Amino acid sequence: MSSDAQADHDHDGRADVAAELRDRSTHARVVELEGHHRGEEMTTGQKVWYGVLWWVSTTIARTYFRTKVWGRENVPTAGAFIISPIHRSNLDTPLIPLIMRRRMRYMGKESLWKNRFWAWFFSMGGGFPVARATADREALKACQEVLERGEPLVMFPEGTRQSGPFVSEMFDGPAYLACKEQVPILPIGLGGTEAAMPKGRKFPPPKKLTIVVGTPIFPPQPTDRGRVSRKAVKALTEQLRDTIQELFDEAQVKAGTPNLR
């Protein structure tokens, strides 16, 4: 492949991922906050509040939901990586901190930042919004900056909450970033969350929840030109999809809500 063709190929890959990020953004006006509005490094005050929110969310998960974690030994203890869980409920996000004490960063739709309190809450929890006007560039740039700083990044590869026993069509964002930054993807299955809090339910009952952490999936090595082909990115996405399905099935069985086919 010529250098011009390879450049076009790489540009197309970025464009595909950017388009997917843009399609998942909304048209809300976000509240501007000091600090990590676009994935910047968290301030000292934000780190303190993150610790408080981590303690609250993990305490509720352990006591009210009796959440158990399997595979915690698979979580990298240092360096950047991408956390890719199944997504079936609003409970999914606050459950993820149970897998480790390290701070994690989350990319969220900007509509969550419309209200000043919720903007503060999600930002203190490590989140940053995807804005419709800049989603094609700024969201991708923010994710890369987070990973380049060595921070773990949470990305739901299904994009939004889904329903049912099968992993839905996934977007290539996690695989693309993993290849681009040469960091592993940590697949995660969550069990019982949809049964406890499906779409439309405002308050969940105290159902048992489970988390199953898979082994890290490493991206293919780049070519001599420092690039990974779109085909390789697609293959990594399919590998991730198959792995998340297995972990999801296992987590559902452990939660007492097995996937029925």
The Cα 24–Cα 212 span in angstroms is 26
What pLDDT shows up at residue 26?
Answer: 40
- Separation of alpha carbons 86 and 191, rounded Å: 9
Q: What is the pLDDT of residue 35?
A: 47
Both structure tokens of 195: 């049964």
* Euclidean distance between CA atoms 13 and 107, whole angstroms: 20
Residue 177 DSSP one-character state: H
Long-range residue pairs from 22-26, CB within 8 A, at least 24 positions apart, any chain: 22/132, 22/135, 22/136, 24/109, 24/130, 24/135, 24/159, 24/160, 24/171, 25/109, 25/110, 25/130, 25/131, 25/132, 25/135, 25/139, 26/109, 26/110, 26/111, 26/132
- Per-residue confidence of the chain (261 residues) as pLDDT tens digits? 554 455 545 555 565 565 555 544 444 445 555 544 567 888 898 899 999 999 999 999 999 999 999 999 999 999 999 999 999 999 999 999 999 999 999 987 777 788 888 888 888 889 888 755 444 577 788 899 999 999 999 999 998 899 999 999 999 999 999 999 999 999 999 999 999 999 999 999 999 999 999 999 999 988 877 788 999 999 999 999 999 999 999 999 999 999 997
| C-beta separation of 189 from 95 below 8 A | no
Domains of the chain from N-terminus onward = 3-255 (3.40.1130.10)
pTM, 2 dp = 0.84
For residue 28, what pLDDT is reported? 41
pLDDT at 11: 52
Q: What local confidence, expressed as pLDDT, does residue 175 receive?
A: 96
pLDDT at residue 38 in the model: 67
pLDDT for res 25: 42
